[in-house]
Chain A
């Protein structure tokens, strides 16, 4: 895998009056996001999704065509991305453990082992403040969302759905399968950055009783 993206290969779409959507194909959106942060200049802010990055600018100060060219040709080297590692303690006591085991033809113990031996990466955030979508979930644990979402998922719930893993920072409605609980402070509005899990953070889970 070459670390650098060939110049001019990136798809950049004018998303709104004051933003571009950059489709990331040769690199992870988080690598592009952090590159944008490092170059500074005309991009005011950026945030990423699963396969793309939205870059906002001030059209009264910045020439959109010039910024588009920069975004299309920016060389992104994934090895420059800052990757903070966190180890989070998890009580594997979720109400859906038995259902997950049944759906995956594994024992509950195997589900916990499989889940806690993987390393996860924060791909992007969304849904609610501090809610991070983690990639790295072993394939055997990929399951569609629950048929009936819960009206209230307790804060701190460790959950999985499709190829993602997440911890609910707040009590919200949710349709993911609940595996366990974490005591980590995932979101604190009095801290900046307010989220514990930021794009680029890698995470391992340590089972505790």
Chain B
């Protein structure tokens, strides 16, 4: 027994870098939505993390939305939490007082103590990494929960016990992330996009996205896709062809819906789609979208070649 989930909060899942090579069977990548924060958390605790483009699933961590996650250590563990910002407290087993612990840094969660990831002040998704990674059986090469199809470990629930993996590569570079820590306030919320394969099917091409007063994240967003509505209704992109052949897609592709909304496909999104792909985000842009709460405003700019 090593780490017990006392409360999963709004939604906590297991994530690693994802499933690879299975999109042809309709199996999405899944895995950490904000890959940069996942990488940072694991680097902080000294886990070896694959480069962001490699087909390697990497160590298993927890991705939790907004806040409310409470866990208890049943032995001393080195942990780090990254991503969204906000208070985080530890209640030691032999103390009455809880004390604050910083995010974006590794610390030892001693045996018996409880960690509470309080609701986020900025951002949406937090990543809890533990030195060694969580030891969970891989399904199709990955320990990631697919919230859409149910492949992989179940969403975390009360009394869920997580073990530490004996076979994750670890190093001695604890607390030395080589990825710059970002908070929502420091994220550049103007996201570079490159033209999608169907940019020509939208009036004005990608300028319909870049020359706009911004896009509001809709509450119906999730790991399948983040829906964006134009802040100014008259700036709805006009799709000039609706029924398209199904094309292969990826996390980060931006589809234009007939309603004028956009959908940024997420890690659990479908592997093919028939809506026109007007633009595609780079990896870093996906991380920003992963941290954008309902109501947040995003803007796009044309990526340099």
Contacts and interface: CB of A to CB of B under 8 A. Distances in A.
B246 A49 contact: yes
B124 interface: no
A19 B250 contact: yes
A21 B277 CA distance: 12
Best-surrounded residue of B54, B246, B249 (most CB of chain A within 10 A): B246
B246 A16 contact: no
A194 B250 contact: no
Contacts of B241: none
Contact of B271 (A21, A47, A198): A47
A8 interface: no
A126 B20 contact: no
Contacts of A46: 24
Interface string B136-174: 000111000010110100000000000000000000000
A125 B53 contact: no
Contacts of B108: none
A52 B249 CA distance: 10
Nearest to A59: B53
B27 A194 contact: yes
Contact of B248 (A18, A52, A127): A52
A53 interface: yes
Interface of chain A, helix or strand or loop or mixed? loop
B286 to A, nearest CB: 10
Nearest to B284: A17
Contact of A51 (B149, B245, B282): B245
A189 B140 contact: yes
B160 to A, nearest CB: 20
Interface stretch (A88-96, A109-117, A128-136, A149-157): A128-136
B240 interface: no
Contacts of A52: 197, 247-248
Given A16-B194, A130-B26, A49 B280 contact: no
A195 interface: yes
Given A49-B246, A60-B53, A126-B246, A18 B24 contact: no
Contact of B22 (A16, A18, A126, A194): A194
Contact of B149 (A49, A60, A128): A128
A58 B53 contact: yes
B26 A127 contact: yes
B272 A127 contact: yes
B231 interface: no
B79 to A, nearest CB: 29
Interface string B170-211: 000000000000000000000000101100000000000000
B21 A45 contact: yes
Contacts of B28: 129
B163 to A, nearest CB: 20
Interface of B: 20-28, 51, 53-55, 139-141, 146, 148-149, 151, 194, 196-197, 245-250, 252-253, 270-273, 280-283
Given A126-B273, A127-B270, A193-B25, 7 more contacts: A49-B246, A58-B51, A124-B246, A128-B149, A190-B139, A192-B140, A193-B22
